[in-house]
Amino acid sequence: MIKHVWSIVCRESNVDPATNNISIDDAYENIQVTLDTKGKEYKKGLSVGVPFDFELVSLFYRDAKGEQESTQEFVTILDPKGVKLGEVDSKVVFREAFDRMRNVIKFNSMPLTLSGTYLFQVHIQKPKSRNREPVTVIPVDIQVTVNGEKVQ
C-alpha cells in the first residue's frame, strides 16, 4: 500500500546522482511579493498572475516491492479566503524494485488575490478509486504589495 510521508513547498530541489539523496533549497513558509502593474489597471480582489518559480516536493513510501504500483497526487491551492485558485495533478509510479518515490511538481507562476495564508492541499487517489484521500495541508504566508500598497 502506498503512503504519503511528507510534502514541502520550496524554491527548488536537487537530487545527488551519486547518493540519490535530495537537497531542498529555500523551504517556503513566508514570501514577500511586490508587483508594479506599470500603468495597467489593477482591480483589488481580482487575482494577479505572478511569475514565480517554485516546487512542491512529496515523498511516498510503500510497504512491499515487487510489482509496479501507482497513485495520483493532486495539489489544490486556496487563497486566504478559501477560494480555489487552481489544481494540478501528477501520477506517481513505483517501479518493481523501489519502495519509496519522490514526486516533484514544478510551478512557474501563481495567482495571488490578497495577503495572508495560502494553503496547498495535497490529496492522493488510488487507481480504480473515485475518492481522493487528503494527506497534508501546507500553509504558506504570502504578503502581497501592488503599486506600493499592501493588498489586504
pLDDT-derived band at 152 (thresholds 50, 70, 90) equals confident
Q: Is the pLDDT of residue 151 over 90?
A: no
Q: How far is CA 80 from the centre of its chain?
A: 16
pLDDT value at position 148? 83
The CATH homologous superfamily of the domain defined by 2-150? Macroglobulin (MG2) domain (2.60.40.1930)
What is the C-alpha to C-alpha distance for residues 34 and 10, in angstroms, rounded to an integer?
A: 19
pLDDT-derived band at 35 (thresholds 50, 70, 90) equals confident
What is the C-alpha to C-alpha distance for residues 42 and 86, in angstroms, rounded to an integer?
A: 21
Lowest pLDDT segment from 22-26, 27-31, 50-54, 121-125: 50-54
What is the C-alpha to C-alpha distance for residues 24 and 76, in angstroms, rounded to an integer?
A: 21
What is the C-alpha to C-alpha distance for residues 74 and 123, in angstroms, rounded to an integer?
A: 5
Taking residues 110-121, report their average pLDDT. 95
Q: Is the pLDDT of residue 38 over 80?
A: no
Grid cell, residue 75, equals 495539489
pLDDT value at position 112? 92
HSE toward the beta carbon, residue 56, CA cutoff 13 A: 25
Average pLDDT, the chain: 93
Taking residues 112-121, report their average pLDDT. 95
What pTM value is reported for the model? 0.92
Q: Is the pLDDT of residue 39 over 80?
A: no
pLDDT value at position 150? 84
Q: Is the pLDDT of residue 14 over 90?
A: yes
Taking residues 5-18, report their average pLDDT. 97
What is the C-alpha to C-alpha distance for residues 136 and 6, in angstroms, rounded to an integer?
A: 8
**Phi and psi at residue 16, in whole multiples of 5°?**
-75, 120
Q: Is the pLDDT of residue 128 over 80?
A: yes
